[in-house]
Structure 1
Amino acid sequence: MNNSKAHGLKEQLLSEIPSLRAFALSLAGISDRADDLVQDTLVKAWANADSFTYGANMRAWLFTIMRNTFFSQYRKARREVQDVDGEAAARLVAMPDQMSHLDFTDFKAELDLLPADQREALVLIGASGFSYEEAAEICGVAVGTIKSRVNRARRRLIERLALQDEDESAPDVSKA
């Protein structure tokens, strides 16, 4: 790879770090593991830069690498048992200062309870801004499957969080 291509690739990789970290957090659930996943993804992308087709969707390529890396690590680690009684996790919990933090905590907890395929589809579409087609390519499934997963995930979150409509969380201005 020549210097100008290497510099261009480096700039593209760096610009995708915030999106990669957000997706990694949705997959790993823990910021330390998410940071490690982002680092592993960037290292693999750099090492395999020759396999990237210039002009193609860099974000989709990186998300595919990250997803594959995560599931490879998950398969290796699923036999490991850590913090069975939850003592370490309990020490890391800090009570939020504002209601919005509580709402976000509730949302995050419910998001984590979604089946992995639904959570992944929802994060790709809702949080990362991918089109259904791009998300389907990243996950290696049909577009209809992604749409179905997103729809089921949204319905389940609405049911679990007891949201009757989108305006419920807005302040009641009639009492002001």
Structure 2
Amino acid sequence: MRAQDEADIVACIPSLRRYARGLSADRERADDLVQDTLERAWGRFGLWQRRGEVRAWMFGIMHNLFIDRLRSQRSAPEQSAGDAFPESPDRATQADRLEVRDLDRALQRLPPEQRAILLLVGVEEMSYQEVAGVLGVPLGTVMSRLSRGRERLRAELEGREVSRTLQRVK
């Protein structure tokens, strides 16, 4: 492995941590996810085919690890999102902290496939094409999940009920 390759992997760590925190809503689980992603990327770097950025490849690894863990935990009861946020006595930023907590709780109520796309596009500023490559889905799927995710997040934050019925398009 070249020194530049190592530097590229290390440069991804802050973005990976943000994405993992958004996916899991738990700092310890997010750190474990980042560590497992780095370990897998490091161990399988020879398999990377250098088609595209190493950043997108690593996000793909993380996403696959997250989905694998999600599938294995389906039988376990769902944990409440956001209970780990302590109430802050700091009055200057209290409203900001409440808004961030509400946003985090609303994000955690989204289906994982919508949450992942919202985080990659909105937080990591990836293009739709990059997200499609990371998640291994068609571009149209990215766009539709993003649209549905944004609408559902908006409804959650406004306290509206989200319609879960499918509409038939002719």
Letter in 2 for 1:95: E
Report deviation, 1:162: 2.5
1:155 aligns with 2:151: yes
* Aligned counterpart, 1:95: 87
Q: Is the 8 A contact 2:118 2:149 kept in 1?
A: yes
* Aligned counterpart, 1:39: 35
Query: How large is the RMSD of aligned CA atoms in angstroms?
Result: 2.2
- Distance in 2, Cα, partners of 1:156 & 1:73: 24
* Aligned counterpart, 1:77: 73
* Aligned counterpart, 1:121: 117
* Aligned counterpart, 1:170: none
What is the number of equivalent residue pairs in this alignment?
A: 154
1:105 aligns with 2:97: no
Q: Mark the CA change 1:50 to 1:22 in structure 2 (over 3 Å): closer, same or farther.
A: same
SS state of the match for residue 78, structure 1? Answer: coil
- Distance in 2, Cα, partners of 1:122 & 1:101: 20
Report deviation, 1:27: 1.6
SS state of the match for residue 103, structure 1? Answer: helix
SS state of the match for residue 42, structure 1? Answer: helix
Q: Mark the CA change 1:153 to 1:53 in structure 2 (over 3 Å): closer, same or farther.
A: same
Q: Mark the CA change 1:135 to 1:82 in structure 2 (over 3 Å): closer, same or farther.
A: closer
Kindly provide the CA deviation profile for residues 66-110 of structure 1, in whole angstroms up to 9, marking residues without a partner as x. Answer: 111112222223334587xx7xx86x4411331010011111111
Letter in 2 for 1:48: R
Report deviation, 1:119: 0.8
Task: Tell me the TM-score normalized by structure 1.
Answer: 0.79
* Aligned counterpart, 1:29: 25
Q: Mark the CA change 1:110 to 1:72 in structure 2 (over 3 Å): closer, same or farther.
A: same
1:60 aligns with 2:56: yes
Report deviation, 1:129: 1.0
SS state of the match for residue 129, structure 1? Answer: coil
Query: Runs ≥4 in structure 1, deviation > 6 angstroms?
Result: none
Q: Is the 8 A contact 2:106 2:153 kept in 1?
A: yes
Report deviation, 1:159: 2.3
* Higher Rg of the two aligned structures: 1
Fraction of identical pairs, as percent: 37
Higher helix share: 1
